[in-house]
Amino acid sequence: MRCDGWGASSRLLFAALVCISGCSNNDYLSSARELDQSGAAEMARAQTLFNQGQADEANAAAQSAQDTLKRARDAYLAARADQSRDVAVLVEFAEFSERLQDHDLAGEAFARAAKIEAERPDLWYRAARNFVEARGRYLDAAGEALDKASQAGASEATAVPRADIEAIRGDLFAAIGLPGEAATHYASALAESPDHARARIGMAGAALQNGDVERSIELAESFEQPTPAEGALLDRTLRAAFLASRRDRVVMPDTAPAQRALAKVC
Residue 61 has pLDDT above 90, yes or no: yes
pLDDT band at 19 (very low <50, low <70, confident <90, very high): low
Tell me, what's the pLDDT at 21?
46
CA-closest candidate to residue 192, choices 165, 212, 172: 165
180, HSE (Cβ side, Cα atoms, 13 Å): 1
The pLDDT of residue 87 is: 96
Max avg pLDDT among 3-12, 18-27, 184-193: 184-193
Q: What's the rounded mean pLDDT across residues 200-220?
A: 93
Question: How many helices (DSSP H) and strands (DSSP E) are in the chain?
Answer: 13, 0
| Confidence grade of residue 140 (pLDDT, cut at 50, 70, 90) | very high
Q: How many Å apart are CA 35 and CA 99, to the nearest integer?
A: 14
Tell me the pLDDT of the chain averaged across its residues: 88
How many angstroms separate the CA atoms of 220 and 200, rounded? 8
State the pLDDT confidence band at 6, using cuts at 50, 70 and 90: very low
Which pLDDT band, with edges at 50, 70 and 90, does 157 fall under? low
Q: Rounded to whole angstroms, what are the CA distances from 226 to 38, 209, 218, 235, 262?
A: 28, 22, 14, 11, 21
CA distance linking residue 100 with residue 229, whole number of Å: 14
Q: What is the pLDDT of residue 251?
A: 86
* 13 has a pLDDT exceeding 90: no
